[in-house]
Amino acid sequence: MAEFKEISPNASTGAKLDNWLRNRFPTAFDAYRVHMSEYYAPKNFNFWYFFGSLALLVLVIQIVTGIFLVMHYKPDAATAFGSVEYIMRDVPWGWLIRYMHSTGASAFFIVVYLHMFKALIYGSYRKPRELVWIFGCMIFLMLMAEAFFGYLLPWGQMSYWGAQVIVNLFSAIPFVGDQLSLLIRGDYVVSDATLNRFFSFHVIAIPLVLLGLVVAHLFSLHDVGSNNPDGIDIKGPGQPKDAAGHPLDGIPFHPYYSVHDMVGVSVFLMVFSAIIFFAPELGGYFLEYNNFIPADSLKTPLHIAPVWYFTPFYSMLRATTDVMVNVFAIIVVLAAVWAFFRSRLSMIGKIAVVVIAAIAVVLLKNLDAKFWGVVVMGGAVIILFFLPWLDASPVRSIRYRPGWHKGVYGVLVVFFLVLGYLGIEPPSPMGTLIAQVGTIYYFGFFLLMPWWSRLGSFKAVPDRITFAH
């Protein structure tokens, strides 16, 4: 047992209460000290560093509003849509809670995408922060699962048929696809059993995993220290420190950044509130108009598309046609030829590459394009986990990389946005072609990163971080 700290009997009531708590719950005060008041973060954080704290804010909004929605929602196929309408029309302030939750879902993905882009341009996934990045990618996966499971719950036309399409994709997996789809649905079609399954995952299972991953993400970040726009470790060897061992280029997270983040929170809440009160559907992007029609298993909407935050990956799925599979096969053959004649591999290694390429081509030509579409869609997310080992650049931050590297990142962003837009629109020959080019560029960006990230003239990285008020 820890030794109790005494306090003067003449101390104020507040001081006595503080001492009483410190003696009985020292772990909480130690956590506050380690992760807030004595956690030194680089003093040159900029605009991009708002989005981590904003993601945490939106998570809290989603949990709180979700609790109030569950009080009135009924996870039953016969009453689910009616219970949502009851929340919107009859529950006091129910419309506000529902719109906060639906807008919060899109806001969550916006801030997470921006947070991941910040890590991408500043190299926040590089050593020693690989585990921080992996936890972040796992959070992204869980967030996608949470959004997918929650998408069915309003039991509107778009949520019903969107879930039907996505679940049916699993049937493309050889040997186990049909059984897996049946397991996910709990029935041969999307039905009451599916709704109950999705409700339990959305309300209980995924949030628990998500919270655990968020804690792991933050703890692992604070163990190795935050990155910064210069990509310099302020706590690393050779960096100046004061007498107490604190880095001179760092400042305590609290009160400096906890107050600093209030600026970002204030701006975010103003935009968030404006959307809720003036454009909660946001032209059908945040809430599709078909979702205000009760689910009808006998009437298929003219065009089925997922919510906007899934559409870049959905666009990649649709782009994977038989022609695209042939292109993949040609790329594999060309890569094998290059590896055999130009690489520095041993002869055994070259033969192994040729054998693997031959097996890949056989699989590409003999398995259905729908299956490869599912592989491409899943691979577009999974490949992010390997980013720390794909980037071979001698510097972390985009600030000190060659200028044309910014163009490479910029084209990636443009294609990602275009893929997102094409995923919402009905398929067309030109749209499919653009999506195929975007898909090839997306995977090329990551798979060729060990090569192109080393090219060009790199600027000298300063010994200490650069900072101006």
Binding residues: 101, 115, 202, 217, 222
H or E stretch at 252: strand 250-252
Q: Which residues define the annotated binding site for heme b? A: 101, 115, 202, 217
Burial of 195 (0-12, 13-18, 19+ CB in 10 A): buried
3-state DSSP assignment of residue 381: helix
The CA distance from 275 to 267, in Å, is 13
Cβ atoms of 12 and 79 closer than 8 Å: no
Cβ atoms of 296 and 156 closer than 8 Å: no
Which two three-digit tokens encode residue 309?
């935050």
Which two three-digit tokens encode residue 283?
């032209």
b (16+ CB within 10 A) / e for 1-32: eeeeeeeeeeeeeeeeeebeebeeeeeeeeee
3-state DSSP assignment of residue 40: strand
Pick from 191, 421, 428, 441: nearest CA to 310? 421
The CA distance from 299 to 303, in Å, is 12
Q: What number of other Cβ atoms are within 10 A of residue 331's Cβ?
A: 16
Q: Which residues define the annotated binding site for a ubiquinone? A: 222
Which two three-digit tokens encode residue 205?
């299972």
Which two three-digit tokens encode residue 240?
């100046």
Burial of 440 (0-12, 13-18, 19+ CB in 10 A): middle
Cα 329 off chain centre by: 30
Pick from 190, 214, 174, 205: nearest CA to 60? 214
Cβ atoms of 146 and 220 closer than 8 Å: no
Phi-psi group of 287: left, alpha or beta (phi > 0 → left; psi -120 to 50 → alpha; rest → beta): beta
Cβ atoms of 219 and 33 closer than 8 Å: no
- What one-character DSSP code corresponds to residue 310? G
Torsions phi, psi for 164 (to 5 deg): -60, -45
